Structure 1
Amino acid sequence: MERPSYVYNLLNYLRIVECASFIAGPSCALHLHQFGAEVIRIDPIGGGPDFKRWPLSPEGDSFYWEGLNKGKRSVAIDLTKPQGRELATEIITASGPERGLFVTNFPKNGFLAHHALSKLRPDLITVRVAGWADGSSALDYTVNAAIGLPYMTGPTETPDQPVNHVLPAWDLLTGAYAAFATLAAERHRRMTGIGQEVTVPLSNMAMASLGHMGQIAEVLTGGDRPRMGNALFGAFGRDFVTADGERVMVVAITAKQWSGLLEALQLHAQIAQIEATYNVSFARDEGVRFKFRTVLFPVFERAIEVLTLPALKSVFEPNGVCWGAYQSLSRSLREDPRLSLQNPLFQMLDHPSGHEYPAPGAAASLNGSQRCAVRRAPRLGEHTDEVLAEVLSMSDAQIGALHDAGIVANA
């Protein structure tokens, strides 16, 4: 059998079995694959609940599913039937020193419960992505609503109207953290021979992240943070409009960024006058810049609104100003060389949807390792026969009987 090629070959001794939908679980296995691990997906015949999730191609295929499952192998099994469930458990618990790694977001109890699977393989590692820590259902957007962030986001004029953001941050962070937890548990098993269940709830990821950033302490000692539009909390930063109608985000957190910004816009004298008036210094303390933002912002508005975007760039770039123009994703892909699809991150692929478009590999660049080819997502059940023969040593006759009984399917 031709072995798949990977973005990096650091983990090519590991086999991960994935039985998961939506973002966190599949992205966990995707991260592991892009560093070399083999990933076998167990898919319901006809596809799981995210198999047709938007964004869709004009023909109705999911670009979302294609993106999250690049390079994986797919085995299609009827999990509603006892024989299908037994087959899935055999794949998950198959023998081998680098096997027995299972990533899922299925409920904690049921036929994929760790205590049931570990009876077949005691050193099994199950990494289970969950919604709430108590096991109740949640998605990124419901967790985000519960922890209060939508009340910190949005215009100051509507403080009681929550504003959702479009990036599923807790899903993405949970998937990355689950990949890290998988490798930590696997390393522990190598040293001790002991498997375990690792549970990574979205809610824990969200609350831990807020705690790491000091926001829980902030609330407990001073109350909820009010929304402040596009102003950056705790430092100088906001959106400004140029003479040609472009909108830019300008940030000055460090002393060097602040001095560079003043030099670029020739504002030393005006800022010195404000400092003298209020007996403060903005040079070293970003918190002071934040406290006096309502005084500072009009000064920068007047300086920026008379410059076109090209003129602004010509003074910002030489002075190391931290800034960025607001632009649509389509514009950034066409015009921004920093986000170019020519980046070695991307590889042009023909996808199962029939569309050719660039697919990203691993986001990290390892100077001591060679990048290998990115592989497209599988067609549903594309590797069913191959995996049954390879992992479970089934004969053609046995595999044929499973097809005849409707237990498995291929592409």
Structure 2
Amino acid sequence: MTATNNAGPLAGIKVLELGTLIAGPFCARMLAEFGAEVIKIESPDGGDPIRKWRVLKDGTSLWWSVQSRNKKSLTLNMKHAQGREIARKLALEADIIIENYRPGVLEKWELGYEQLKALDPSTIMVRLSGFGQTGPMKDLPGFGAIGESMGGLRYVSGHADRPPVRVGVSIGDSVAALHGVIGAMMALRHRDATGGKHQGAGQMVDVALYESVFNLMESLVPEFDHAGVVRERTGGALPGIVPSNTYTTKEGENIVIAGNGDAIFKRLMLAMGRIDLAGNPELEHNDGRVRHTRQIDDAIQAWCDTQTIDGALAVLQAADVPAGKIYSVRDMMTDPQFLAREMFEQHQFADGSPVKLPAISPKLSATPGHTKWLGPTLGQHNDEVLQSLGYSADAIAAMKRDGVL
């Protein structure tokens, strides 16, 4: 892969991040990874709480090094009038504003979308919240776990005879962040097509966590509305699409086999030596296989009982049947596919100790993303950002004394 533009496709785009934890910062992180200048406003009193989440190094989260890479940290006391004034100046300079406070917080600071739009009609603001900017629940707190529950994901996750389970990462927040990135790019395209910064038409991108999750729920709505079907928890299986399930090898390892295409199913059965099932006309198409789900799953599990996981994968790959192990991070770090795709980046902390980060996705052939620096220290870019706004060294020193920074 040959890069022709190391600055990134979003070079020249300025982003103001007003948010904490996951959804808003992840949205801004992706823009920063592809060249946007992202200025993250943090409270002088400890900054973003994610700095202290999960595994720490020297008092700072390892997660922080990824979530805030390429961002500039500016501390502002938003309870102070001068802090709000600086934030407003940055907002009016920015191409995109990203925020994930509860609805109404920015309006109290006179930084709401309508307030900024009155000063600059080209304002683009991405607003991520639990339930959106309207509706009877808009003022309620809503973390990703609540979005996953209300959006339908938790209800279908897990086994039928047990309570719903969560995905092992903050998927609701991350999915909302991706919706925010998509919305920001579409709004930016529209603004530029209608005159550009200060002249073009801006807009608000209203992202609700529960709606972002709901957007992933496939055929849930028409199946219920038209056929009265409520999708339920089914463990490792994919209901109505057969076979697609998790099976266990003779060593007790799990293997996912997705033989649900008509031709793939036939190849799978032949690879297993089940000529009877491969040639059964009732199983030729998915609707017929659904009626015989138990028989097919039992046959695949019986075959897996005789196989090691590596042996099973070799047979299935030779037969061109989609199958795979369930990876832990330990598996990923040594996997030939991950390594060939350069999915890890080697970096150093300030003390010289090494650390690997996940590489940037998606991979663009001409303007790929790039890690310029790891998550910044709190207020690391105060002087740089404030000087760019025209503040003198004496004025910055005074703001530090007055508790603005």
Q: For the aligned residues, what is the CA RMSD? A: 2.3
Name which of structure 1's ranges 398-407 and 43-52 shifts more when overlaid on structure 2.
Answer: 43-52
Match of 1:266 in 2: 273
The CA distance in 2 between the partners of 1:180 and 1:48, in whole Å, is 27
Q: Secondary structure at the match of 1:253?
A: coil
Q: Secondary structure at the match of 1:51?
A: helix
The CA distance in 1 between the partners of 2:193 and 2:368, in whole Å, is 29
The CA distance in 2 between the partners of 1:56 and 1:373, in whole Å, is 21
Q: Secondary structure at the match of 2:216?
A: helix
Name which of structure 1's ranges 45-54 and 287-296 shifts more when overlaid on structure 2.
Answer: 45-54
Match of 1:73 in 2: 72
Per-residue displacement from partner, 1:60-119 (whole Å, max 9, x unpaired)? 42122222111111101111222211221112213xxxx342111123322131122334
User: Which of 232, 245, 259 does residue 252 from structure 2 map onto?
Assistant: 245
Match of 1:401 in 2: 398
Q: 1:249 to 1:7 in 2, by over 3 A?
A: farther
Aligned AA (2:259): A
The CA distance in 1 between the partners of 2:34 and 2:167, in whole Å, is 30
Match of 1:377 in 2: 375
Pairwise CA distance, 1:123: 2.3
The CA distance in 2 between the partners of 1:7 and 1:131, in whole Å, is 36
After TM superposition, the structure 1 = structure 2 runs for residues 306-325 of structure 1, keeping only pairs within 5 Å, are 306-325=306-325
Match of 2:141 in 1: 137
Match of 1:24 in 2: 23
Q: How many residues align?
A: 385
Q: Secondary structure at the match of 1:16?
A: strand
| 8 Å Cα contact 1:352/1:378 also seen in 2 | no
| 8 Å Cα contact 2:35/2:370 also seen in 1 | no
The CA distance in 1 between the partners of 2:216 and 2:185, in whole Å, is 20
| 8 Å Cα contact 2:348/2:354 also seen in 1 | yes
The CA distance in 2 between the partners of 1:250 and 1:103, in whole Å, is 40
Pairwise CA distance, 1:53: 4.5
Q: Secondary structure at the match of 2:102?
A: coil
Aligned AA (2:100): N
Match of 1:3 in 2: none
Match of 2:11 in 1: 12
The CA distance in 2 between the partners of 1:21 and 1:353, in whole Å, is 26
Q: 1:374 to 1:293 in 2, by over 3 A?
A: farther
> Structure 1: which 5+ residue stretches go unaligned?
1-5
Aligned AA (1:281): E
Q: 1:127 to 1:231 in 2, by over 3 A?
A: same
Q: 1:383 to 1:49 in 2, by over 3 A?
A: closer
| 8 Å Cα contact 2:256/2:323 also seen in 1 | yes
The CA distance in 1 between the partners of 2:202 and 2:151, in whole Å, is 33
Pairwise CA distance, 1:18: 0.6
After TM superposition, the structure 1 = structure 2 runs for residues 99-248 of structure 1, keeping only pairs within 5 Å, are 99-109=94-104, 110-111=108-109, 112-133=111-132, 134=135, 135=138, 136-158=140-162, 161-192=163-194, 193-210=200-217, 213-220=218-225, 221-235=227-241, 236-248=243-255
The CA distance in 1 between the partners of 2:6 and 2:302, in whole Å, is 48
The CA distance in 1 between the partners of 2:333 and 2:95, in whole Å, is 40
Aligned AA (2:273): Q
After TM superposition, the structure 1 = structure 2 runs for residues 31-70 of structure 1, keeping only pairs within 5 Å, are 31-57=30-56, 59-70=58-69
The CA distance in 2 between the partners of 1:40 and 1:88, in whole Å, is 10
| 8 Å Cα contact 1:361/1:374 also seen in 2 | no
Q: Secondary structure at the match of 1:93?
A: helix
| 8 Å Cα contact 1:18/1:41 also seen in 2 | yes
Pairwise CA distance, 1:165: 2.2
The CA distance in 1 between the partners of 2:6 and 2:117, in whole Å, is 31
The CA distance in 2 between the partners of 1:313 and 1:85, in whole Å, is 59
TM normalised by structure 2 equals 0.88
The CA distance in 1 between the partners of 2:175 and 2:402, in whole Å, is 41
TM normalised by structure 1 equals 0.86
Q: 1:372 to 1:147 in 2, by over 3 A?
A: closer
Aligned AA (2:271): A
| 8 Å Cα contact 1:7/1:34 also seen in 2 | no
The CA distance in 1 between the partners of 2:34 and 2:148, in whole Å, is 30
Pairwise CA distance, 1:388: 0.6
| 8 Å Cα contact 2:267/2:320 also seen in 1 | yes
> Structure 2: which 5+ residue stretches go unaligned?
195-199
Per-residue displacement from partner, 1:323-366 (whole Å, max 9, x unpaired)? 111342223323x22233x6434321124697532223431222
Aligned AA (1:299): A
Q: 1:100 to 1:227 in 2, by over 3 A?
A: closer
Pairwise CA distance, 1:37: 1.0
User: Which of 341, 355, 365 does residue 367 from structure 1 map onto?
Assistant: 365
Aligned AA (2:240): G
Pairwise CA distance, 1:7: 6.5
Pairwise CA distance, 1:144: 1.8
Aligned AA (1:164): R
Q: 1:156 to 1:198 in 2, by over 3 A?
A: closer
Q: Secondary structure at the match of 1:206?
A: helix
| 8 Å Cα contact 1:8/1:34 also seen in 2 | no
Per-residue displacement from partner, 1:126-174 (whole Å, max 9, x unpaired)? 111111133232111112222443332222333xx23222233232121
